[in-house]
Amino acid sequence: MYKIFLSITLLLMSSVLAMAQDLEVQMTAPGSVAAGRPFNLKISVNSQSARIGKPQVNDFDVLGQSSGTSMSIVNGNMSVERSITYTMVASKPGSYTIPGVVAEDNGKKYTSNAVTIEVTGQEQQNQANGNQNQGRNSNVADNVQTNGEDCFLDLSFNKQEVYIGEQVIMGCTLFSAYQVSEFEDFKVPSFNGFWVKDIENPKNITFERKRLGNKTYLYALLQKKALFPQRAGTLTIEPYKLDMIVGDGFFRMARASAKSKTKNITVKPLPEGKPEGFGGAVGSFKVNLSSDKTEVNLDEPLTIKITVIGSGNFQLFEAPKLSLNSAFEQFEPKTTENITVGAQGVSGSKTFSTVVIARQPGEYVIPAVKFAYFDPSSKSYKIAETKELAITVTGERSADSQAATTIIGTEIEDLGSDIRFIKQDGFTLKNGNNKFFNSFYFWMIFILLPVLLAGAILFRMQQIKNNANVIGMKRSKAGKTSRKRLKKAEAFIKDNKKNEFYTEVLNALWGYLSDKLSIPVSELNKDNVKEKLSDKQMDAEVTDKFINVLDTCEFEHYAPESMSHSLQEVYDMAAEAIEQMETSIK
């Protein structure tokens, strides 16, 4: 009780003292600071009710502010101090004076002292260090509009009007007026209508400073992608979204969200007059024709390569046509890629290797290969052409092998001769007067036929019922089965067995779809998967995420040199996609 009485007494005394004494306003700041280094400007007043005006700090960037109140008793005298502290930074050297701040209490105005701050030139060194990252963040637009936001995402493009198949370089950059301590959730749009290739996904985010309007931001590149539009019209890129933890420089943390604006890309159709053999290539290319040998023996394999080199939509065009003499047996081409994804987009080479076998000796010339493509820079179609290729086939075919045959896929061709020899061995003739009609065996079959037919129908009905039960069981256990398959994949992560890992993950994903949709794996493709899931009223976002995980697994499995995800990340993505599908599918 005594303590409560004492506290009330002290509060009353502080109020009386504050009214009795004149108000004092004081502003303090360091006399010298380094450019680019944060410092504190403190404004204090000996009243709890006074209104403190804002300081004139146009020459500085304000990073944050905090306030506080303190009370003290010295030799029986009580004093109250209320303060506001600004954390600021100077962008360039010089001498700056901040005028006195006005405070108002009980209708009277009081002015604080002015402070002068000398800013030294150490920012030049910081600027030199920052320039090392200039190339990486070169996609940051100088005309970014902030609309007064403290945190936002900006999408920048090297062009926003393109042709079908022409690559667009897009960068996603975070701007924050506060220090960012942690990223919580980063949502990337689905890029409907685009084929997408990642250029940069920095794991270690480095922030730099940039002044926009009258505010200074910390900014960093989060993603850089090459986008290839697949259809004409206006394609929309939905907003990126980012949830994060930010601080104000005083160890006070808060959650913040940043979002980009919806962006549109205008896609023009390719012009009329497509040349013969045009397979959808858009960019700048040249083509080369080569073989592993120029002289081969009869029936010996030979590999002919067509290599397309340049920059553009490598994954989206067809193989150039290879014209061969009928003396050559030709097999399906095999495609290999050596693609580089850099700051300027996708470039490199794509090779189509075809194995051929010469079935007749002689001197042959493989005609020049023509590769048609559309060049966006000149807005015209162009044709790249190779040189001819001379092949010598040596050897002779013996008389015994004139009627030899060879298997091409599932067909058999006669290569030596089109004449069949007459069989000269003896043979026996049979009496053709035996009558089956109206015989004992005839009537036995006639009587048993309805019984056999009824039995076949009953057997088929039971088979259909059993199949339905099997399909139902597969559907209900699809999730459990896929998790078991993923467990096999998880065992390969520790040993870094990438090939075995991706094989098991893809088996789990495609196997899940096969069981859930009752479609054999051999008949599955991404188009009929989307169609079936749409029929089941599946959420389009869940479907797109599952397809994106499939694309990621297949790309990193067959192009390991371009891996952008760890095995654990891919495993987590696959597990999450299956779980979301399980909870959403009807």
The alpha-helical segments, DSSP class H, found in 116-273 are: 123-130
- 460-475 average pLDDT score: 63
Q: How far apart are CA 216 and CA 177, in angstroms?
A: 7
Counting residues of the chain whose pLDDT is more than 90, the rounded percentage is 24
Q: What are phi and psi of 487, to 5 degrees?
A: -60, -40
Given pLDDT bands bounded at 50, 70 and 90, which one contains residue 383?
very high
DSSP calls for 558-584: H-GGG--S-HHHHHHHHHHHHHHHHHH
Q: How far apart are CA 485 and CA 366, in angstroms?
A: 48
26 in Cβ contact with 85 (< 8 Å): no
Whether the per-residue pLDDT at 404 is higher than 70: the answer is no
Q: How far apart are CA 533 and CA 552, in angstroms?
A: 20
The whole-number pLDDT of residue 248 equals 57
**Which residues partner with 295 through β-bridges?**
392
Whether the per-residue pLDDT at 13 is higher than 80: the answer is no
| Tokens linked to 518 | 């009752």
The whole-number pLDDT of residue 122 equals 52
- 238-254 average pLDDT score: 76
- 41-50 average pLDDT score: 84
Whether the per-residue pLDDT at 151 is higher than 80: the answer is yes
Residue type, 319: A
- 217-228 average pLDDT score: 92
Whether the per-residue pLDDT at 416 is higher than 60: the answer is no
Q: How far apart are CA 528 and CA 512, in angstroms?
A: 15
Q: How far apart are CA 441 and CA 453, in angstroms?
A: 18
Q: How far apart are CA 34 and CA 89, in angstroms?
A: 9
The whole-number pLDDT of residue 17 equals 44
The whole-number pLDDT of residue 387 equals 92
| Tokens linked to 187 | 């949502």
| Tokens linked to 278 | 């045009």
The whole-number pLDDT of residue 560 equals 56
Surface-to-core class of residue 77, CB atoms within 10 Å of its CB (0-12 exposed, 13-18 middle, 19+ buried): exposed
Whether the per-residue pLDDT at 12 is higher than 70: the answer is no
| Tokens linked to 138 | 């070169």
Surface-to-core class of residue 404, CB atoms within 10 Å of its CB (0-12 exposed, 13-18 middle, 19+ buried): middle
Given pLDDT bands bounded at 50, 70 and 90, which one contains residue 137?
very low
Q: Write out pLDDT tens, residues 277-330.
A: 898 999 999 999 999 888 989 888 889 999 999 999 887 888 888 888 888 888
38 in Cβ contact with 99 (< 8 Å): no
Surface-to-core class of residue 24, CB atoms within 10 Å of its CB (0-12 exposed, 13-18 middle, 19+ buried): middle
The whole-number pLDDT of residue 147 equals 53
Q: How far apart are CA 249 and CA 192, in angstroms?
A: 40
Whether the per-residue pLDDT at 240 is higher than 80: the answer is yes
DSSP calls for 18-80: HHHSPP-EEEE--SEEETT--EEEEEEES-SSPEEPPP--TTEEEEEEEEEEEEEEETTEEEE
The whole-number pLDDT of residue 16 equals 43
SS (H, E, C) 430-454: CCCCCCCCCCHHHHHHHHHHHHHHH
E-strand stretches of 91-231:
94-98, 102-105, 108-111, 115-120, 151-157, 161-163, 168-176, 179-187, 194-200, 208-212, 215-229
- Strands 208-212 and 215-229, bridge-based pairing: antiparallel
Most confident of the ranges 176-185, 333-342, 369-378, 502-511? 369-378
Selected residue with higher pLDDT from 373 and 323 = 373
The whole-number pLDDT of residue 271 equals 92
Q: What is the mean pLDDT of the chain?
A: 78
Q: How far apart are CA 136 and CA 159, in angstroms?
A: 18
- Report CA-CA distances (Å) from 463 to 314, 359, 449, 459, 474: 48, 50, 21, 6, 16
Neighbour-count burial for 199-209, b at 16+ CB within 10 Å, e otherwise: bbeeeeeebbb
| Tokens linked to 454 | 């009824």
Whether the per-residue pLDDT at 428 is higher than 80: the answer is no
Q: Which residues contact 412 (CB under 8 A, 6 or more apart)?
A: 405, 406
Q: Which of 173-182, 484-493, 517-526 has the lowest mean pLDDT?
A: 517-526
- 346-374 average pLDDT score: 90
The whole-number pLDDT of residue 475 equals 64
Selected residue with higher pLDDT from 474 and 203 = 203
Whether the per-residue pLDDT at 373 is higher than 90: the answer is yes
Unique residue bearing structure tokens 């060049």: 375
Given pLDDT bands bounded at 50, 70 and 90, which one contains residue 461?
confident
Angle between the 478-494 and 498-517 helix axes, to the nearest 10 degrees? 180
Task: Count CA atoms within 13 Å of residue 216 on its CB side.
Answer: 19
The whole-number pLDDT of residue 129 equals 40
pTM: 0.46
Q: Which of 64-68, 255-259, 293-297, 343-347 has the lowest mean pLDDT?
A: 64-68
Whether the per-residue pLDDT at 233 is higher than 50: the answer is yes
253 in Cβ contact with 264 (< 8 Å): no
Unique residue bearing structure tokens 């250029």: 199
User: First CA to last CA across the chain, in angstroms?
Assistant: 68
Given pLDDT bands bounded at 50, 70 and 90, which one contains residue 47?
confident
Counting residues of the chain whose pLDDT is more than 70, the rounded percentage is 77
E-strand stretches of 409-499:
411-414
The whole-number pLDDT of residue 132 equals 39
Query: Hey, is 159 helix, strand or coil?
Result: coil
Q: Which residues contact 245 (CB under 8 A, 6 or more apart)?
A: 180, 181, 182, 184, 253, 254, 255, 256
- 410-434 average pLDDT score: 49
Q: How far apart are CA 309 and CA 89, in angstroms?
A: 50
